Amino acid sequence: MRLIGLTGGIGSGKSTVAQRLRALGVPVLDADEYAREGALVLKSEICQTFPEACSGGEINRAALGRLIFSDPEARRRLEALIHPYVRQRMREETEKARQAGHRLVVHDIPLLFETGREKDFAGVLVVAAPTDLRKARVMARSGLSEAEFEARDQSQLPQEDKVRRATWVIWNDADLDTLYSRVEAWLEEVQR
Ligand code: ADP
């Protein structure tokens, strides 16, 4: 079984590619989904570490998000809590996919390079798009302001570095149909 990493900057279209791969029958495990699950399971540890981001024992996601985007040390502490949980869940789900006979499993990891994970994969697929397009798509989708987009984008490895370190790149600089056909072409290539 081949394990492939999927990553891309905010607004690149990574989630859209993940969705398309799932529709084509490829198991895509979403690190963000397990991180959200981990935040629930590890709620009391998180609230102990970041009392300012909790009230009544519940995490205030917006407050926690602001804290970690403005304080790199806080971000490292949160990651040290959640990443081991995410890895464990992804190992479990990968094993299930292997047992179900899948020959390809994709791990969708926003900070794949930043967390030094590339060595875990047979190859890494990077989804990339011009920064202006990424900004416009994110602002339309989530109502993030331009400044919030910039802050988030700049907290990640620059897109050009991701592209340089990629095994494969899908450019998402046209319409959705074009993106889908690029995803299909990529899948054919890796399944050959
Ligand atoms: P990411 O997961 O990389 O942050 P998404 O896949 O969520 O990005 O895409 C961001 C937004 O842009 C979504 O609303 C998505 O539907 C839209 N989008 C992605 N690719 C295209 C495209 N080629 N044309 C038009 N809209 C797109």
Same domain, 19 and 37: no
Q: What is the pLDDT along the chain (192 residues), one digit of tens a residue?
A: 999 999 999 999 999 999 999 999 999 999 999 999 999 999 999 999 999 999 999 999 999 988 988 898 999 999 999 999 999 999 999 999 999 999 999 999 999 999 899 999 999 999 999 999 999 999 998 888 999 999 889 989 999 999 999 999 999 999 999 999 999 999 999 998
Q: Domain of 70?
A: 32-89
Ligand 1 atom with the shortest distance to the CA of 176: 23
Does the Cβ of 167 fall within 6 Å of ligand 1?
no
Prediction pTM value: 0.92
Cα–Cα distance for residue pair 59/52, rounded to 1 Å: 9
- pLDDT of 155 reads 85
Same domain, 69 and 82: yes
- Does residue 95 form part of some domain? no
Does the Cβ of 11 fall within 6 Å of ligand 1?
yes
Same domain, 166 and 112: yes
- Does residue 187 form part of some domain? yes
Does the Cβ of 104 fall within 6 Å of ligand 1?
no
Q: In angstroms, what is the span from residue 14 Cα to ligand 1's centroid?
A: 7
Same domain, 125 and 56: no
- pLDDT of 170 reads 98
- Does residue 96 form part of some domain? no
- pLDDT of 115 reads 87
- Does residue 55 form part of some domain? yes
Question: Which residues fall within 8 angstroms of residue 121, CB to CB, at 6 or more apart?
Answer: 3, 4, 5, 107
- Does residue 94 form part of some domain? no
Instruction: Choose which residue among 6, 7, 14, 16 to substitute to test ligand 1 binding: the one with the highest number of ligand atoms within 8 A of its C-beta.
Output: 16
Same domain, 184 and 106: yes
Ligand 1 atom with the shortest distance to the CA of 17: 6
Same domain, 143 and 52: no
Same domain, 124 and 189: yes
* Structural domain total, the chain: 2
Does the Cβ of 13 fall within 6 Å of ligand 1?
yes
Same domain, 151 and 180: yes
Same domain, 22 and 36: no
Same domain, 79 and 120: no
Same domain, 110 and 182: yes
> Using CA of residue 148, residue 133, residue 112, residue 61, what is the dihedral sign?
positive
- pLDDT of 178 reads 98
Q: State residue 125 phi and psi, 5-degree precision.
A: -95, 125
